[in-house]
């Protein structure tokens, strides 16, 4: 069973990945929305 700490960790990881993605999207001049969706979809693969 997932504890509150687990949920907190999920949110933290999603935010960290999102922040890194946004920094990369600024560097390579790609819309951040697209990269965020791609990162989420990669998780499924």
Partner 1 sequence: MIFLIINMIVLSALTFFIVRGISPLLAILFAAAMSGTSPSAVTIAFKGVKTKVFQFLEVESILNTPLAVLIPFLVLDLLRGIPSEGYVLAQLGAQIVPFLQQFITGIGVGILIGLIIFKVFSRIYHPTLSPLTIITAALITYVAAEQLGGNGVLAVTTLGLFFGNVYLKHKMKIKEFSEIFSTFLEILVFILIGFIIQVDLKNIFSPEVISFFIISATLFVAFLGVRLFSVIISFGRKQFTAGEKLYITLNVPKGIAVAVVALTLITSIVYPGIEYVFDLMLAFLVYSIVLSAIVTRFSKKFIRVEAMKPEKLKP
Residues that bind partner 1 (CB under 8 A): 11, 14-15, 17-19, 21-23, 26-27, 29-34, 36-45
Cβ at position 17, least distance to partner 1 in Å:
7
Of 3 and 43, nearer to partner 1 (C-beta) is 43
Of 8 and 40, nearer to partner 1 (C-beta) is 40
If you search the block for the tokens 């969706």, which residue do you land on?
37
Calpha distance 45→32 (Å, rounded): 20
Q: Are the C-beta atoms of 16 and 24 separated by less than 8 Å?
A: no
């Amino acid at each position: 069973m997932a504890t509150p700490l687990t949920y907190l960790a999920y949110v933290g990881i999603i935010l960290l990945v999102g922040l890194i993605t946004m920094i990369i999207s600024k560097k390579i001049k790609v819309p951040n929305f697209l990269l965020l969706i791609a990162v989420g979809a990669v998780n499924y693969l």
